[in-house]
Amino acid sequence: MTTQIAVPQIGHLIGGETTAADLRDVHDPGRLDEVVAQVAVGTADDVDRAVRAAHAAFPGWRDTPAAERVQKLMAAADILAGSGEELAPQLVREHGGVLWEAQTDFGLGTGVLQHTASLVEEFFRPTQFDDEQSFISVEKVPRGVVAAIVPWNMPVVLTMMKLAPALATGNTLVLKPSPFAPGALTLALQKIAAILPPGVLNVVHGEGDVGAALCSHPLVRKVGFTGGTATAQKVVEATASTIKNVTLELGGNDPAIVLDDADIDGTLDRMLKGVYTRTGQICFAVKRIYVPRGMYDRFADAMCDRVDQYAVGHGLDPEASFGPLNNEAQFKKVLDLLDRTRNSSAKLVQLGRKLDASSWDNGYYVLPHVVRDVEHTAPVSCEEQFGPLVPLIAYDDEEQVITWANDGEYGLGSSVWTTDPDRGLAVARRVEAGSTFINTHSFDSLDLRMPFGGIKQSGIGREFGTAGLAEYVEEHAIRRLK
């Protein structure tokens, strides 16, 4: 099953121009012998040119009436919505997901643009005080040039979560996509950039050195970063010498807490969408499941029966429940965690089936696994696996499970599963995380009215909605004495 599609050549986008450069091949993680895009390899010079183009465009964009910027965002949303059908297959061949996951990425990105645009008018209303002594006006102003750095797992929506609030509030942008999923995203951004003044939206491709050059550039005033915690530490170090504001959306080890009144089938119907979707490579996926000891075996058996129905194959194969892992480092990391778990006292259960077994070794494929009879302290319970395996941990009482859920350096998403709404809310309030969902924990759980982000080492700041807009402005306080 090979698909012949033209290989796009993806240059940088600087000051409204697509620039030719050294190109490197991007391979399909499900068919490693296929090149699916050729992408520019950036340098610190490219970063400097892009930042200067964004800096030159900043005064004009800042002074563009907010209503006009909103219109541009709405037009960008239409472009993105109209690009999904054409570009989703390209995205599948870069990031390894199945088609509906890639389409969801475009759909969520469109929603973020539209929702952000709808908030701008109210957001910019100044807070004013007028009394006998003084007139005070607190006004929101853009920061200047924003650098956005994104990973490969959901590149479109993760980009829009930065682009929408940054441009809506009058900043200009330089984006660095992941080298593992640069093509489909950039092809969509080229269309969006074409409706904007040159320099408002720029894209520079490359690896960590390009990201580091952006983070340390003196004309960049803000970095919006999504990626791993270890990379974020480097981002913070690189921004330190020029004191930049940062928003960091990082990894997670999300607990799902099943309470003893939960309905097992109803819980699994919804919960499994949040475990193996995107091959487990979602920051706020269910990463560890806590089940009351009294229902542990019934829950684990029912879960294994369901997971055994999954078929793993290329993302363009309509039969595939999920696709390969995205890249070699991720593949090796997951295989290593599987090996360590196999050699531990836990019971590692391999499930599901291979769709195209003869080409299995031509991609980063891993079957789904459930880890039974595993301790809360085991590596597979404590580390962010970012792959299709999940530990099921038995607990004895509510106090213990809340302590365990809050144990660790991550605090991104989390969930509580129960048939009792009040009990669900009471337990949710005790979980230390940026988001806690009740009876849901997947793409479907997101609501743009909820700020999204992490606590502890899962991040700094929030995306979505008004909280997301606030990350991209400064407050300018003006007082006139009477």
Part in contact with ligand NAD (CB under 6 A); list of ranges 27-35, 67-75, 203-211, 270-278: 203-211
Alpha-helical (H) ranges within 32-143 are 44-62, 66-95, 99-123
Instruction: Between 70 and 189, name the residue whose CB sits nearer to ligand NAD.
Output: 189
Known catalytic residue: 398? no
- Distances in Å between the Cα of 6 and the Cα atoms of 34, 334, 336 are 11, 32, 36
Nearest to 47 by CA among 196, 203, 258, 201: 203
Q: Is 103 in the site for ligand NAD (CB under 6 A)?
A: no
Part in contact with ligand NAD (CB under 6 A); list of ranges 132-140, 151-159, 189-197, 369-377: 151-159
Instruction: Between 178 and 267, name the residue whose CB sits nearer to ligand NAD.
Output: 178
With beta carbons less than 8 A apart as the criterion, state whether 219 and 252 touch.
no
CB of 278 to ligand NAD, least distance (A): 10
> What are the beta bridge partners of residue 12?
19
Pick the catalytic residue from 101, 384, 463, 471.
463
Nearest to 323 by CA among 101, 127, 137, 144: 101
CB of 23 to ligand NAD, least distance (A): 17
Known catalytic residue: 162? yes
Q: Is 178 in the site for ligand NAD (CB under 6 A)?
A: yes
Residue number, nearest CB to ligand NAD: 211
Known catalytic residue: 273? no
Instruction: Between 78 and 336, name the residue whose CB sits nearer to ligand NAD.
Output: 336
With beta carbons less than 8 A apart as the criterion, state whether 441 and 271 touch.
yes
Buried b (16+ CB within 10 A) or exposed e, 242-267: eebbbbbbbbbbbbbbbbeebebeeb
Pick the catalytic residue from 162, 176, 244, 287.
162
Q: Binding ligand NAD by CB under 6 A: which of 83, 103, 104, 153? A: 153
Q: Is 102 in the site for ligand NAD (CB under 6 A)?
A: no
With beta carbons less than 8 A apart as the criterion, state whether 366 and 327 touch.
no
Known catalytic residue: 384? no
Determine the Cα angle at 280 with ends 208 and 79, to 5°. 65
Part in contact with ligand NAD (CB under 6 A); list of ranges 10-18, 128-136, 148-156, 307-315: 148-156
Pick the catalytic residue from 34, 249, 384, 471.
249
Give the span between the Cα atoms of 102 and 263, in whole angstroms: 31
Strands 134-142 and 473-481: antiparallel
Q: Is 404 in the site for ligand NAD (CB under 6 A)?
A: no
With beta carbons less than 8 A apart as the criterion, state whether 210 and 73 touch.
no
Q: Is 227 in the site for ligand NAD (CB under 6 A)?
A: yes
Pick the catalytic residue from 283, 287, 384, 471.
283
Tell me how far apart the terminal alpha carbons of the chain are, to the nearest angstrom.
Answer: 77
CB of 50 to ligand NAD, least distance (A): 14
Q: Is 255 in the site for ligand NAD (CB under 6 A)?
A: no
In the region spanning residues 418 to 457, those forming contacts with ligand NAD, defined by CB under 6 A, are 454
Give the span between the Cα atoms of 321 and 278, in whole angstroms: 9
Instruction: Between 313 and 434, name the residue whose CB sits nearer to ligand NAD.
Output: 434
Q: What is the DSSP secondary structure assignment for residue 457, as one 8-state letter?
A: G
Where does this chain bind ligand NAD (CB under 6 A)?
149-153, 158, 176, 178-179, 207-208, 211-212, 215, 226-228, 231, 234-235, 249-252, 283, 384, 386, 412, 454, 459
Catalytic site positions: 162, 249, 283, 463
